[in-house]
Amino acid sequence: MVTVTNSTYVDEIERAETPVLMTCWAPSCKACLALKPTMEEIAKDRDIKIASLNVMESPLLAQRFGIMSLPTTLIMKKGSVIDRMVGAYSKAFIERKLGLV
């Protein structure tokens, strides 16, 4: 899992060779912390980049993507949002959504 910030976004997300599953989170969000192991499992099972965006540390990126609730997970391809999920979802649900990319 890579950490995304304002300064690393272009290299880590827009230039990524594979689709990216980017979770937007905050340290105080319990659901966000509960989602992390699910993302790590998905990273092991699929050829997809998993990214983590702390909205408290990178508020400009959170604003850019219209993040209003946490956790929000974006499915991205070449920097474009393909789909978004708001809330902590199961691995099976997320993997079904990944069928879009």
Q: How far apart are CA 83 and CA 81, in angstroms?
A: 6
Q: Assess whether 24 carries a catalytic annotation.
A: no
> Catalytic pick from 2, 8, 26, 29?
29
Residue of 32, 48, 62, 88 with catalytic role: 32
Query: Which residues are known to be catalytic?
Result: 29, 32
